[in-house]
Chain A
Amino acid sequence: MKTAAGRGTIAAAAFLLALGFLLTLFGVPDAAFAQGSPFGVGPRAAPPPPPAEGMMGWIFAKQAEFYRMLSGSLRAVKTDQTAVAGLFGISFLYGVFHAAGPGHGKAVISSYLFANNETWRRGVVLSFASAMLQALVAIVLVAVASLVLGATARRMGDAVWYIEIVAYSLIILIGLQLLWRKGRAFMAALRGKADHHGHHDHHHHDAACDHLHTPPPANLAGPGGWRRGLAAIVAVGLRPCSGAVLVLIFALAQGIFWAGIGATLLIGLGTAITVAVIATVAVGARGLAGRLVSSGDGKGALLLRGVEVLASLAVIAFGALLLAGYMANERMLI
């Protein structure tokens, strides 16, 4: 009995540590852009970066370095088209490092995968789809705004403003939906547990007990699950990354929009790879916790349900923080 409960505790602890690790390392998604541009025109300011030490500091330095190289390599392509290989290589590396730093929905995706007990394959698909959507939104935004509408940077900022509201609200909605399902599962586990302890205090491994703590089939990935996944892809991928928008407009100004499009797609690919790695960690941690708990008694399963509820709350919190951080800085908009 004690070992079973202990195993549940260890599972929960491992789970929370992994969650905490992900949160600390990667922060809130896209909060990098959740404030106003200090010049009134342009990408919007980021909250303070962390100390430039350790792994995060190294990532921070690398992404700044690659970002700084982008404008130079775009200029090089203008005079010599063979320089495009260099541009694409730098874009890809920038994507990899940038996604390891701020934004790009890593925290949302991780928490979502955690709470939803998703498969590795779905995690990877989710990461790639959202990163590529993000690249496409940036390309379409700049193409339509600049080429078709002849819009100013200010107007483009306005467009991003609306995109953000939609995307962040969608994150909150996804979180609320997760909370609703996970909250019910948690309550069911709690009730099941109370009954269990009331009536069979000496049988902790009976089949009925295990069955009680298995999530109802409706909670598992299925046809409806993909619809939920699509919502997550849109919520995370809708907001174009500021760096990509700047690269595209700079390429356009240089008369080499095609190079900007290629660079943006490669930034997206690099981003996708990093996010997929993080998603794999999230799915792996969840799987490990699930296995540890399944061999334990009901208490472990209850804890796991509790942690799922927490992860759902985290998704809601991310959405709310993004929306609020953004709203609070409305005055900084053009």
Chain B
Amino acid sequence: MIPAMKIPSRFLAAAFVVAAFASPAQAHPHVWVTVTSAVVYDAKGAATGVRHAWKFDDMYSAFAVEGLPQKTKGVFTREDLQGLAEVNITTLKESDFFTFAKAGGKDVVFGEASDYYLDYKDEVLTLNFMLPFKTPVKEKDVSIEVYDPSYFVAFAFAEKDAVALVGAPAQCKAAVEAPKEVSKQLSEASFLAGNWGQNFASKIAVKCP
């Protein structure tokens, strides 16, 4: 009798474990963003931050401007959209602006976003903002990744001229690196860490000799 009862209780325990792990549901991206970025340097040759231009997909753009007051029908000026830009920036702070930077292999901390505004052209919104490093970065290797760990938002760098250097020392070069190949191990580890979106992250790599 006792062994017969023991087996099911093990199954019950297993069911609880399964239930506990099954909790995060999964979604495909609902928002697509095409990223164009500039890495900005100061007069001393230190990187001061990233200037982002995020172009949203048409469906999300239509949704975001829905019901917004506009002076001319079909046209949204920067002023019309400033309230929305404010909301975007305030909320993006919660997700660290989906921007993850490293200098000389170490994580870089960002300060407050500034100079933000939205443009509306060809029925598509573009969010522009400056994301300064907390302190200017002098390291020769700077890498910047833009991704949503949950992959609700799919970020991708523009196919052409995705990255620019502003005021950088002449020898510095910037390039976009494609996402690493998604190996099984990597993806499972990142899934458990709630960091699945990183598998799809493109990276800006700036190298100054």
Contacts and interface: CB of A to CB of B under 8 A. Distances in A.
B22 to A, nearest CB: 4
Contacts of B98: 38
B28 A64 contact: yes
B12 A16 contact: yes
Contacts of A63: 28
B105 interface: no
Interface stretch (B131-139, B167-175, B184-192): B184-192
Contacts of A331: 94
Interface stretch (A150-158, A163-171, A217-225): A150-158
B43 interface: no
Contacts of B64: 39, 41-42, 153
A12 B11 contact: yes
Contacts of B68: 152
What's the interface size class on B, roughly?
Answer: 35 or more
B22 A27 contact: yes
Given A9-B7, A48-B194, A317-B19, A42 B28 contact: no
B14 interface: yes
Given A48-B149, A249-B62, A332 B30 contact: no
A3 B152 CA distance: 51
A184 to B, nearest CB: 19
Nearest to B87: A40
B38 to A, nearest CB: 21
B92 interface: yes
A41 B87 contact: yes
A53 B23 contact: no
Given A45-B150, A101-B26, A36 B94 contact: yes
B66 A46 contact: no
A317 B15 CA distance: 13
Given A9-B7, A24-B18, A48-B196, A249 B94 contact: no
Contact of A306 (B12, B23, B150): B12
B60 to A, nearest CB: 6
Contact of A13 (B8, B19, B188): B8
A149 to B, nearest CB: 8
Given A36-B91, A41-B84, A310-B15, A250 B63 contact: yes
B30 to A, nearest CB: 5
Given A9-B7, A43-B31, A332 B94 contact: yes
Given A13-B7, A46-B151, A49-B151, A23 B91 contact: no
Q: Which of B23, B63, B152, B182 has the most CB of A within 10 A?
A: B63
Contact of A16 (B15, B67, B197): B15
Contact of A49 (B8, B22, B27, B88): B27
Given A6-B4, A38-B152, A20 B91 contact: no
A48 B190 CA distance: 9
- Does more than half of chain B's interface fall in helix, strand or loop, or is it mixed? helix
B84 to A, nearest CB: 6
Contacts of A6: 4
A119 interface: no
B77 interface: no
Given A13-B11, A332-B94, A52 B187 contact: yes
B57 interface: yes
Nearest to A101: B26
Given A9-B4, A20-B14, A48-B195, A39 B23 contact: no
B63 A249 contact: yes
A245 B31 CA distance: 13
Interface in B162-209: 182, 184, 187-188, 190-191, 194-197, 199
Contact of B60 (A36, A154, A246): A246
Interface string B29-68: 1111000000000000000000000000111101111111
Nearest to A111: B19
A20 B196 contact: no
Contacts of B7: 9, 13
A16 B95 CA distance: 38
- 3 interchain residue pairs of minimum CB distance: A40-B91, A46-B27, A49-B26
Interface of B: 1, 4-5, 7-8, 11-12, 14-15, 18-19, 21-32, 57-60, 62-68, 84, 87-88, 90-92, 94-95, 98, 123, 127, 148-153, 182, 184, 187-188, 190-191, 194-197, 199
23 contacts: A5-B4, A16-B14, A19-B18, A20-B18, A30-B25, A39-B64, A39-B92, A43-B63, A46-B26, A48-B26, A48-B149, A48-B151, A49-B191, A70-B59, A75-B58, A103-B27, A154-B87, A246-B30, A246-B63, A249-B62, A253-B62, A321-B23, A332-B91
